[in-house]
C-alpha cells in the first residue's frame, strides 16, 4: 500500500501566512490612528485660526479699544466671569466705555477659548519681534510696551491630544494692525 499524496498546506505555511496578514493589518491600523491624530490637530488649528480672526476683526472694527487690547488668558490658571460681563456692550442699546467694551470682548473670547481649545492660552499685545531667532520659534513675551513701531499681535497656544504641542509655545500668531 502506498500512502496517498494529498496536496495541502503544512501548519508552518499557515502560520507564516497568518503572521504576514497580521503585520499588514497592524500597519493599516497604525496608518489609520496617525490620520485621526493629524485630523484632530488640523481641527484645533482651524478653531484657533477662527478664534483669532474673530478677535482681530473685533479689534479692527473698534479703533477706540485698540489701545486697550493688552490681554492675557491661560485656561489652566484663569477663569472668565460666569454669566458674561456685568454691563452688556453689544447692540445699539449698549452704552459702554471703551474699557467696558474691551472687558466684555475679553470675557466672551476667554469663554470661547476655554470651551474650544484644550488648555488654551492667548496673549494680545504690542510686539516688535514675535519670532525668537535664537530658539527659532514663536514667543509669548511682548517687548514693545508703547513703542510706536510695535504692531498688535494675537498669540494662541493649546495642548494637543498627542502631547506633541503644548501651550508653553504659541502655535498661532496673527497680526492685527
Is residue 85 scored above 70 in pLDDT? no
pTM of structure: 0.68
Hey, how many other C-beta atoms are within 10 angstroms of the C-beta on 9?
10
Q: Are 154 and 55 in contact (CB under 8 A)?
A: yes
pLDDT digits (tens, 9 = 90+) for 90-100: 554 557 777 77
Is residue 82 scored above 60 in pLDDT? no
User: pLDDT exceeding 70 applies to what percent of the chain?
Assistant: 69
Least confident of 32-36, 45-49, 110-114, 171-175: 171-175
Q: Are 96 and 87 in contact (CB under 8 A)?
A: yes
Instruction: Compute the distance between CA of residue 155 and CA of residue 157 in angstroms, rounded to an integer.
Output: 7
Is residue 64 scored above 80 in pLDDT? no
Is residue 66 scored above 90 in pLDDT? no
Query: Locate cell 492685527: which residue?
Result: 176
Per-residue pLDDT averaged across 117-141, rounded? 80
Per-residue pLDDT averaged across 107-116, rounded? 83
- DSSP code for 10: -
Is residue 152 scored above 90 in pLDDT? no
Q: Nearest CA to 103 among 126, 119, 80?
A: 80
Instruction: Compute the distance between CA of residue 154 and CA of residue 152 in angstroms, rounded to an integer.
Output: 7
Instruction: Compute the distance between CA of residue 40 and CA of residue 47 in angstroms, rounded to an integer.
Output: 11
Amino acid at each position: 500500500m502506498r500512502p496517498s499524496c494529498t496536496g495541502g498546506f503544512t501548519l508552518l505555511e499557515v502560520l507564516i501566512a497568518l503572521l504576514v496578514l497580521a503585520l499588514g493589518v497592524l500597519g493599516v491600523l497604525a496608518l489609520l490612528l496617525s490620520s485621526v491624530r493629524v485630523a484632530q490637530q488640523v481641527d484645533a488649528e482651524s478653531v484657533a485660526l477662527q478664534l483669532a480672526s474673530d478677535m482681530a476683526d473685533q479689534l479692527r472694527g473698534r479703533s477706540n479699544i485698540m489701545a486697550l487690547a493688552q490681554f492675557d488668558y491661560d485656561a489652566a490658571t484663569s477663569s472668565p466671569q460666569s454669566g458674561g460681563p456685568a454691563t452688556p456692550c453689544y447692540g445699539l442699546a449698549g452704552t459702554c466705555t471703551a474699557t467696558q467694551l474691551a472687558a466684555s470682548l475679553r470675557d466672551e473670547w476667554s469663554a470661547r477659548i476655554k470651551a474650544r481649545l484644550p488648555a488654551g492660552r492667548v496673549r494680545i499685545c504690542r510686539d516688535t519681534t514675535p519670532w525668537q531667532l535664537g530658539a527659532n520659534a514663536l514667543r509669548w513675551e511682548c517687548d514693545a510696551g508703547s513703542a510706536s513701531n510695535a504692531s498688535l499681535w494675537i498669540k494662541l497656544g493649546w495642548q494637543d491630544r498627542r502631547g506633541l504641542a503644548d501651550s508653553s509655545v504659541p502655535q498661532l500668531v496673527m497680526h492685527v494692525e
